[in-house]
Amino acid sequence: MTDRIETHLGTTEEGQMAQEQANTSTTASDVAATSAEDSDAVRTSGGDPDDLNPVIIELENVNVYYDDFHAVSDVSLPIREREITAFIGPSGCGKSTVLRCLNRMNDLIESARVEGGVNYHGVDLYGPNIDPVEVRRRIGMVFQKPNPFPKSIYDNVAFGPKIAGYKGNMDDLVEQSLDRAALWDEVKDKLDESAYALSGGQQQRLCIARAIATSPDVVLMDEPASALDPIATLRIEELMYELKAEYTIIIVTHNMQQAGRVSDRTAFFSVDIQDDGERTGRLVEFSETATLFTTPEKQETEDYITGRFG
């Protein structure tokens, strides 16, 4: 336990140092003025930009290509610490693609190429000598369909820390992770049983426990509740809200009400269809969720969120 707390502290300190770098670089780009930043500053009640949580991931002109296909065009937005940021938009708008840039999950697709900067604590994730494996330990991921390993509940949670060479008490870590994922009480008596014996909602919470077991500071969620029933969905949402105290969460969702319920900020992506049928996603609007859902700045956003899209 003590070990773990120390590692945590260690990470935070490093994080803050990197953060200071990030802040200086942010000021530079502030001058270049991403529109999202500007509108934040104007709109946030109190009006003091210093009240905002620090930026943990800054996307700068991110473009994603699959071979020659331009999937995502010029996305710039700041992700703030200990907030929930939602990505919404129609199918093919590149929201999942952008999400998968954030922990280099796109590496798994051979033809994928990312241009632009993804600065995590001020470090470019696509810079030289970045180990994607280490990146994924610090930026965890939860997928659309619950995908526990075909192993026991315990092994599902313990796998990540084990391969990362975790030296502390594994039982404690498993309990702690399951507890944070609000699953401990339901599974404490059957840790050796198959993860597949759990319900869909429980499996997804197990996947969240698995994701946070490696002590990430960011958790990416790719439509985490789309395969779940409404009650299980609300549980996951409630859990996200609790996790926000310690983690930065980025969620891709098709469910706009969900984005409205859980997120602090929302990025709306849309898709341009070129003459040759190529579909390129782009960021349309990024602002506080309450603003986006009541008084969106762009007509395109309004049309989408009110259901008059296309």
Partner 1 sequence: MSTSSTLNPRRATSEEVAKTIKRGGANWKPIAFQALLLILLSVSLLILIVLLADILVSAWPTFRDRGLSFITDGLSLNPETAGVWTAIVGSVIIAVVVAVLAFPVGIGAAIYLEEYAPNNSITRFVDTTVRNLAGVPSIVYGLLGLALFVPLVNIIGFGGATSGKNVVAAGITMAALVLPIVIITSAEAIRAVPNAIREAGYGVGATKWEVVKNHVMPVALPGVLTGTVLTLARAFGETAPLLVIGVATGFFAPAGDASFYDTLTGPYTALPVVVFSWTRQTQAEFAETLAPAAIVVLLVVLFILNGLAIWMRNRSDRKW
Partner 2 sequence: MTHHEIEPRHHFDDELDEIRASLVDLGTMVLANIRWAGEVVVENRLDEVDAVVEADAPINEKYQELEEKVFHILALQQPVASDLRFLVVASRILYEMERSGDLAVNIVNSLERIHGIPADTTLQSSLDRLSAASATMFARGIEAIATMDPEIGLHAEAEDEETDNLTSDLFTAVTARQDELGLEASVALFYMGRFFERIADHGVNIAQNITFAVTAQFPEDY
Residue 105, interface with partner 1 (CB under 8 A)? yes
Report, in angstroms and rounded to the nearest whole number, the Rg of the chain calculated over CA atoms: 19
Check: CB of residue 240 under 8 Å from CB of residue 251.
Answer: yes
Among 29, 203, 214, 270, binds partner 1 (CB under 8 A): 214
d(C-alpha 213, C-alpha 158), whole Å: 7
> What is the closest distance, in whole angstroms, from the C-beta atom of residue 191 to partner 1 in the complex?
14
Kind and range of the H or E run holding 264: none
Helix/strand/coil for 33 = coil
Count of residues that interact with partner 2, criterion CB under 8 A: 15
Among 46, 47, 277, 307, binds partner 2 (CB under 8 A): 307
- Give the other-Cβ count within 10 Å of 75's Cβ: 25
d(C-alpha 24, C-alpha 14), whole Å: 16
Among 185, 245, 276, 308, binds partner 2 (CB under 8 A): 308
Count of residues that interact with partner 1, criterion CB under 8 A: 31
Among 102, 187, 213, 262, binds partner 1 (CB under 8 A): 213
* Closest C-alpha to 246, from 56, 44, 45: 56
* Closest C-alpha to 226, from 144, 141, 147, 142: 144
Check: CB of residue 153 under 8 Å from CB of residue 193.
Answer: yes
Q: Which does 39 bind (CB under 5 to 8 A by kind): partner 1, partner 2, none?
A: none
d(C-alpha 215, C-alpha 166), whole Å: 11
> What is the closest distance, in whole angstroms, from the C-beta atom of residue 229 to partner 2 in the complex?
18
Question: Tokens standing for 136?
Answer: 């994924």
265 to 304: interface string for partner 2, x by CB under 8 A: ----------------------------xxxx----xx--
> What is the closest distance, in whole angstroms, from the C-beta atom of residue 263 to partner 1 in the complex?
21
Among 260, 281, 284, 287, binds partner 2 (CB under 8 A): 260
> What is the closest distance, in whole angstroms, from the C-beta atom of residue 303 to partner 1 in the complex?
28
**Beta pairing class for 69-80 and 55-66:** antiparallel
Q: Which does 116 bind (CB under 5 to 8 A by kind): partner 1, partner 2, none?
A: none
Residue 273, interface with partner 1 (CB under 8 A)? no
Residue placing its CB nearer to partner 1 in the complex, 36 or 219? 219
Residues near partner 2 (CB under 8 A) are 256-257, 260, 293-296, 301-302, 305-310
